[in-house]
A and B are shown apart, each in its own frame.
Chain A
């Protein structure tokens, strides 16, 4: 029901490589550092959870709590580096918290098995004042009424920057943290642009077969056909695949989401139908058309006949071994394929926009992901503390008092990680792409934001341009023709199809999820393999509704429209 990314360990490692470049500052007005990307807020049908009717009296977002307070907290022991005798309880950020905000954080525990430990803490009933929670943990604590209402605190104390960021996703992030009209946590926003599928093609094969780059969906299908039948690897054997697919069908890597999006079908996400009602993308008529096409492709051998038993890692092996030339995958595919590039230096992958089947542009689907929910224990005297900590994280502090080398980065010691609360501009990877390319054009590193992972990306892309193959993966993501360049175009055109629903499962999803998911995957796979006729789709839709889908739809609609 929710889009579940099943990733192997290696893919997670790769994904986090790109995803964890947390911006320490998403340049805002009052800091005198202008943000190059004034990205338009996506149009939103929902009103943000904050911003109530009567304006509250504004308080100073960076004011000191007087007398100073000591709060308890817990945190994950991420791999942190320290220098000059600093520790997690005594560093630039703890000083800043105490001197500027009057908040001293005392950790009940710090664990590298955060989730298990937090679950135990939740059961023990000995909750700390401030908690970084996973979606599931947040939901459980919210439902059992253990969390403080932060609505007023955010309204009154939230800085402009923080409020701005919460508007960037159309208020969906805050909405996901709202229960019964109460805001119970501050979400750390992920980037929705990074969840969108792109079309990836091996351009060295294109060149070899003298094929033009794709301009339409027909071109894409022609290319896929040629990659199977015209021996692109030149070994005289018919051992290459056209379009990649794997047994879980809808995955970040080697999935079919992008293919469906080309047909204006949006499996697994919640969209608004023609009459403006919330509807489940997987049961819309556009799916049927796309499935019929996939059935055809399977029959003609363009999709691997054995996709139904191969997981993404198996497909990845085939891609790295040079057996695959066309796939729909998210932005970090080149990092995953670096191993293949090392084996075969001629291998060249390039991302393209999704082609559309008709004259309407194809929209890539996107999902708002939330990394962490920062919540406050009910009954804590100063719930505004969490808001202030977030303000501090998103502010650019004066250099003379808090030098970058103390609170952001010093060499390879990333000090922004010492913060208790993080947030990020959802467009950080796009910003990195823009600034890295500007820096390369001007040959001037000062363009880069030193508070982020940008210098590291710059180093790698620059190395690649200088002929070092080890930077190939980074170049494929952040380079001038990398995946982020296409995300940037989509962002500019506001062309994403963003799921209307976010947050954790509704009760019916929990109850019916297994059955409905099984039905869906089972039907799709059988249709593609030709074991069931395309018309089975209609039967599936009726069954889906009957077996609880209608109930789920009602709940989702209620949660979106609340």
Chain B
């Protein structure tokens, strides 16, 4: 790198600075707090005065009687969310792309990404009403079709699926934006070439649009894998109750209840650390796979 080239890139580095500073302040400095995971943390004695307990907190977590079930629920719900949260927006983006009427296209886009801005506190209440087996709209539909209404939020069979479906409904519009942008960025001459080669509409999608979206799809998939232990705290917290603990209690809600009863900082930090480690491993692996398989690199 010669000096001139460096100077030319200087503005870019200056633009990067705020991001780096924020990352350092909010992500790197707090890492000191990871020590809490190995302590019987006492706020009065502080970070360096608390008693060191080695891996006790981790052992405590592993020995909790319902930890296996909670882990399973977390991974199950999160995986379904990740898969559906990737596939649905891609399909919707492709469909929207086919719309020729710009006004309709924009209208639909706006409509479907609006729910993203509503909080689960509000939606939770609405959802409970909609799904109520006695008065809810869904139950009325079931009755009209001659079926028995299902108690969606009160049954362990249905609860995880309600969680995933409602989350997709809330977020798919927002996820679509990225893919629409990716489609917009595809070079039109590729389509012209495909048409010259006699590609049907469907063929164009398959051979031009999808490969053009691939980098973004891989990127989104890679990034979302880090969420395999995040099943969405605020959504579940607003919808669950003791009756669906069996299928709906996840790591985050468990930690929350520990905090409610008696702030067990050490244990909560230990679980958080475990989550981070698992996420890091998964992201690294998927990044490597993306490089090997799709020859795609972010950096």
Residue of A nearest to B43 (CB): A123
Task: Report how far A416 CA is from B66 CA in the complex, Å.
Answer: 50
Are A514 and B128 in contact, CB atoms less than 8 angstroms apart?
no
Do A123 and B46 contact each other (CB < 8 Å), given the known contacts A305-B151, A514-B254, A526-B243?
Answer: yes
| 0 or 1 for each of B124-158: is its CB under 8 Å from A? (1 = yes) | 01001000111100000000000000010110000
- Closest approach, in angstroms, between the C-beta of A244 and any C-beta of chain B? 15
CB-defined contacts of A2 to chain B, threshold 8 Å: 261
B44 within 8 Å of A (CB atoms) = yes
| A248 in complex: contacting residue of B43, B153, B241, CB < 8 Å | B241
Are A515 and B242 in contact, CB atoms less than 8 angstroms apart?
no
Task: Report how far A311 CA is from B243 CA in the complex, Å.
Answer: 13
Are A514 and B257 in contact, CB atoms less than 8 angstroms apart?
yes
Are A514 and B258 in contact, CB atoms less than 8 angstroms apart?
yes
State which residues 304-326 of A face B: CB under 8 Å. Answer: 305-306, 308-311, 314
B249 within 8 Å of A (CB atoms) = yes
Are A308 and B243 in contact, CB atoms less than 8 angstroms apart?
yes
- Closest approach, in angstroms, between the C-beta of A199 and any C-beta of chain B? 24
Residue of B nearest to A145 (CB): B44
Do A510 and B44 contact each other (CB < 8 Å), given the known contacts A518-B242, A518-B245?
Answer: no
Task: Report how far A404 CA is from B45 CA in the complex, Å.
Answer: 45
Residue of B nearest to A125 (CB): B44
- Closest approach, in angstroms, between the C-beta of B38 and any C-beta of chain A? 17
Are A314 and B128 in contact, CB atoms less than 8 angstroms apart?
yes
- Closest approach, in angstroms, between the C-beta of B40 and any C-beta of chain A? 10
A289 within 8 Å of B (CB atoms) = no
| A513 in complex: contacting residue of B43, B132, B134, B261, CB < 8 Å | B261
- Closest approach, in angstroms, between the C-beta of B154 and any C-beta of chain A? 5
| 0 or 1 for each of B238-276: is its CB under 8 Å from A? (1 = yes) | 010111111001000010011011111000000000000
B42 within 8 Å of A (CB atoms) = yes
- Closest approach, in angstroms, between the C-beta of A506 and any C-beta of chain B? 10
A1 within 8 Å of B (CB atoms) = yes
- Closest approach, in angstroms, between the C-beta of B96 and any C-beta of chain A? 35
Task: Report how far A515 CA is from B260 CA in the complex, Å.
Answer: 13
CB-defined contacts of B258 to chain A, threshold 8 Å: 513-514
| B44 in complex: contacting residue of A122, A517, A531, CB < 8 Å | A122
Task: Report how far A315 CA is from B249 CA in the complex, Å.
Answer: 23
B65 within 8 Å of A (CB atoms) = yes
Task: Report how far A239 CA is from B132 CA in the complex, Å.
Answer: 13
B60 within 8 Å of A (CB atoms) = yes
CB-defined contacts of B43 to chain A, threshold 8 Å: 119, 122-123, 140
B64 within 8 Å of A (CB atoms) = yes
CB-defined contacts of A314 to chain B, threshold 8 Å: 125, 128
CB-defined contacts of B66 to chain A, threshold 8 Å: 515, 518
CB-defined contacts of B262 to chain A, threshold 8 Å: 136, 504-505, 509-510, 513
Task: Report how far A247 CA is from B243 CA in the complex, Å.
Answer: 8
CB-defined contacts of A119 to chain B, threshold 8 Å: 43
Number of A-B residue pairs, CB cutoff 8 Å, is: 95
Residue of A nearest to B64 (CB): A515
CB-defined contacts of A480 to chain B, threshold 8 Å: none
Residue of B nearest to A531 (CB): B243
Task: Report how far A248 CA is from B262 CA in the complex, Å.
Answer: 18
- Closest approach, in angstroms, between the C-beta of B245 and any C-beta of chain A? 5
A333 within 8 Å of B (CB atoms) = no
B45, B134, B241, B260, most chain A CB atoms within 10 A: B241
State which residues 514-556 of A face B: CB under 8 Å. Answer: 514-515, 517-518, 521-522, 524-526, 529, 531, 547
Residue of A nearest to B159 (CB): A309
Are A514 and B245 in contact, CB atoms less than 8 angstroms apart?
no
CB-defined contacts of B264 to chain A, threshold 8 Å: 510-511
Are A518 and B241 in contact, CB atoms less than 8 angstroms apart?
no
CB-defined contacts of A311 to chain B, threshold 8 Å: 241
Residue of A nearest to B261 (CB): A513
Are B243 and A525 in contact, CB atoms less than 8 angstroms apart?
yes
| 0 or 1 for each of B63-77: is its CB under 8 Å from A? (1 = yes) | 011100000000000
Task: Report how far A228 CA is from B296 CA in the complex, Å.
Answer: 64
CB-defined contacts of B134 to chain A, threshold 8 Å: 305-306
CB-defined contacts of A531 to chain B, threshold 8 Å: 243
A4 within 8 Å of B (CB atoms) = yes
CB-defined contacts of B42 to chain A, threshold 8 Å: 140, 144
State which residues 106-141 of A face B: CB under 8 Å. Answer: 119, 122-123, 125, 136, 140-141
Residue of B nearest to A308 (CB): B243
B64, B154, B245, B261, most chain A CB atoms within 10 A: B261
Task: Report how far A515 CA is from B262 CA in the complex, Å.
Answer: 13
Are A306 and B44 in contact, CB atoms less than 8 angstroms apart?
no
CB-defined contacts of A547 to chain B, threshold 8 Å: 65
Are B60 and A525 in contact, CB atoms less than 8 angstroms apart?
no
Do A525 and B133 contact each other (CB < 8 Å), given the known contacts A140-B42, A308-B154, A518-B66?
Answer: no
Do A249 and B242 contact each other (CB < 8 Å), given the known contacts A308-B154, A505-B262, A510-B261?
Answer: yes
| 0 or 1 for each of A417-446: is its CB under 8 Å from B? (1 = yes) | 000000000000000000000000000000
CB-defined contacts of B246 to chain A, threshold 8 Å: 522
Are B242 and A521 in contact, CB atoms less than 8 angstroms apart?
yes
- Closest approach, in angstroms, between the C-beta of B152 and any C-beta of chain A? 9
- Closest approach, in angstroms, between the C-beta of B159 and any C-beta of chain A? 10
| A123 in complex: contacting residue of B44, B132, B260, B263, CB < 8 Å | B44
Do A505 and B261 contact each other (CB < 8 Å), given the known contacts A248-B241, A309-B154?
Answer: yes
State which residues 230-256 of A face B: CB under 8 Å. Answer: 239, 247-249
Task: Report how far A510 CA is from B259 CA in the complex, Å.
Answer: 10
Do A4 and B261 contact each other (CB < 8 Å), given the known contacts A306-B133, A522-B242?
Answer: yes
Are A515 and B151 in contact, CB atoms less than 8 angstroms apart?
no
- Closest approach, in angstroms, between the C-beta of A546 and any C-beta of chain B? 9
Do A247 and B241 contact each other (CB < 8 Å), given the known contacts A511-B60, A517-B261?
Answer: yes
Task: Report how far A87 CA is from B249 CA in the complex, Å.
Answer: 50
Having A515-B65, A521-B245, A525-B243, one finds 19 other A-B pairs with CB under 8 Å, namely: A4-B260, A4-B261, A119-B43, A144-B42, A146-B44, A306-B133, A308-B242, A308-B244, A309-B154, A309-B243, A310-B128, A505-B261, A509-B262, A510-B261, A515-B64, A517-B261, A518-B242, A518-B245, A525-B241
25 A-B interface contacts by CB (under 8 A): A4-B261, A122-B43, A122-B44, A140-B43, A140-B44, A144-B45, A247-B241, A247-B243, A248-B242, A308-B242, A308-B244, A309-B153, A309-B239, A504-B262, A505-B262, A510-B261, A511-B264, A514-B261, A515-B64, A515-B65, A515-B66, A518-B249, A521-B242, A524-B242, A529-B154
Which 7 pairs from chain A and chain B are nearest by CB? A247-B241, A521-B242, A308-B243, A510-B262, A513-B261, A309-B153, A525-B242
